[in-house]
């Protein structure tokens, strides 16, 4: 049975002559939590608005459960959207805000009462039925906006950076709440953010976008552990990205030193990008590692120390539970499995890369 609920077929969109989305193809499966991640202006929010019916693509089709809905208005789609600006009706109570969509559908009073009660319980807002938005915190308003969306029982819920206005601790708490709500409802979530932590924490699958093009798709772990180009490696978490030369299969030269690695299929002496995560580098005594360098700075980050070691003209970032002395000479070592090799991009615009799943 086909479990694809949404398909974007060759979607393109431009504004004032500027290409925002370019030939986007994407399939989303039922009951997935998919996060579209990327920097400002990468096309992620425009993609969400096209799915929701708030924008029409210049080219391509939006297919929902096998039906072309490209020309359908938002109210005709079994899709609801939660925006960063919650847009609650200030003159209405919490209960009236949540019930608004159901009243438009002319549902019975008893049906509306039961659904509103269930939605309030789901978002932990019981007891606030008579409150008005002005008397609620940002987190409470966000919960009401989610309740207003889910009470309509959409098959697909779109969330456009809904946690962006919240402080860090509340944002982290709401991430867990959203996961719980999704599991309780059993519906599909498509979530847009530029926050890497949100994407890695909540998602079944992450879509990394840049310049209107999908750079990589995959699970949180695969995206983090196996970035497929320098943009993804740099955008998802901290990374050391340095020029290298692939001497041969399983051997790469970095800063004049040969390192064993596990990558194959590159050309002999091919110029490559080398990615090494800061937590995968280990500081050892001078001359005991592959490279020698000087400790330039150290910052305590709580769970680890962020240490900068300069080797020739490159400053390596290391995350370690053990501190080091500024100005000291140290060695650096790395396991072959933790060295990621990537082809150099052929142009300024990174290629479309899709993970085989």
The fraction of the chain above a pLDDT of 90, given in percent, is 57
Q: What pLDDT does 81 receive? A: 87
| pLDDT of 245 over the 80 cut | yes
Q: What pLDDT does 210 receive? A: 92
Angle 33-352-280 from CA coordinates, rounded to 5°: 70
Mean pLDDT over all residues of the chain? 89
| pLDDT of 356 over the 90 cut | no
The CATH number that domain 4-225 falls under is 3.40.50.300
Q: Which two tokens stand for residue 308?
A: 């900068």
Rounded CA separation 281/308 (Å): 11
Rounded CA separation 116/147 (Å): 8
Structure-token match 């659904």, residue found: 115
Q: What pLDDT does 180 receive? A: 85
Q: What pLDDT does 348 receive? A: 44
Q: Which CATH architecture has domain 243-343?
A: Beta Barrel (2.40)
Q: Which two tokens stand for residue 248?
A: 């041969």
Rounded CA separation 253/233 (Å): 19
| pLDDT of 352 over the 70 cut | no
Rounded CA separation 7/209 (Å): 17
Condensed to tens digits (0 to 9), the pLDDT of residues 92-140 reads: 999 999 998 888 888 888 998 998 998 888 888 888 888 998 898 888 8
Q: What pLDDT does 70 receive? A: 95
Condensed to tens digits (0 to 9), the pLDDT of residues 36-53 reads: 999 988 899 999 999 999
The model's pTM is 0.82
Rounded CA separation 167/145 (Å): 17
Q: Model confidence at 353, in pLDDT bands (50, 70, 90)?
A: very low
Q: What pLDDT does 312 receive? A: 94
Q: What pLDDT does 346 receive? A: 61
Q: What pLDDT does 156 receive? A: 93
Contact criterion met (CB below 8 Å) for 133 and 148? no
Condensed to tens digits (0 to 9), the pLDDT of residues 72-97 reads: 999 889 898 887 776 788 899 999 99
Start-end ranges of CATH 2.40.50.140 in the chain?
Answer: 243-343
Q: What pLDDT does 86 receive? A: 67
Q: What pLDDT does 121 receive? A: 87
Q: Model confidence at 351, in pLDDT bands (50, 70, 90)?
A: very low
Start-end ranges of CATH 3.40.50.300 in the chain?
Answer: 4-225
Mean pLDDT in residue range 19-45? 92
Q: What pLDDT does 355 receive? A: 40
Q: What pLDDT does 175 receive? A: 86
């Amino acid at each position: 049975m086909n479990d694809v609920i949404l398909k974007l077929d060759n979607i393109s969109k431009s504004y004032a002559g500027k290409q925002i989305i370019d030939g986007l193809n994407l399939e989303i499966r039922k009951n997935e939590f998919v996060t579209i991640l990327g920097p400002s202006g990468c096309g992620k929010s425009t993609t969400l608005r096209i799915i929701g019916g708030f924008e029409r693509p210049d080219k391509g089709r939006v297919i929902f459960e096998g039906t072309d809905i490209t020309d359908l208005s938002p109210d005709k789609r079994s899709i609801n959207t939660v925006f960063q600006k919650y847009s609650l009706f200030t003159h209405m109570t919490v209960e009236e805000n949540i019930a608004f969509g159901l009243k438009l559908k002319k549902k019975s009073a008893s049906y509306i009462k039961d659904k509103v009660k269930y939605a309030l319980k789901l978002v932990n807002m019981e007891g606030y039925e008579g409150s008005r938005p002005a008397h609620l915190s940002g987190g409470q308003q966000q919960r009401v906006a989610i309740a207003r969306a889910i009470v309509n029982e959409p098959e697909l819920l779109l969330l456009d950076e809904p946690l962006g206005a919240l402080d860090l601790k509340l944002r982290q708490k709401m991430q867990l709440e959203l996961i719980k709500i999704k599991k309780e409802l059993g519906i599909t979530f498509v979530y847009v953010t530029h926050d890497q932590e949100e994407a890695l924490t909540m998602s079944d699958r992450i879509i990394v976008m840049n310049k209107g093009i999908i750079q990589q798709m995959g699970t949180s772990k695969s995206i983090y552990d196996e970035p497929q180009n320098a943009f993804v490696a740099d955008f998802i978490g901290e990374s050391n990205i340095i020029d290298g030369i692939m001497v041969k299969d399983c051997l790469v030269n970095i800063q004049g030193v040969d390192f064993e690695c596990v990558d194959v299929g590159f050309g002999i002496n091919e110029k490559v990008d080398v990615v090494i995560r800061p937590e995968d580098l280990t500081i050892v005594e001078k001359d005991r590692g592959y490279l020698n360098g000087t400790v330039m700075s150290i910052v305590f980050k709580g769970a680890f120390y962020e240490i900068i070691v300069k080797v020739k003209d490159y400053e390596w970032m290391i995350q370690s539970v053990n501190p080091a002395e500024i100005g000291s000479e140290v060695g650096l070592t790395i396991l072959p499995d933790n060295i990621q090799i990537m082809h150099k991009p052929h142009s300024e615009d990174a290629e479309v890369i899709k993970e085989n799943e």
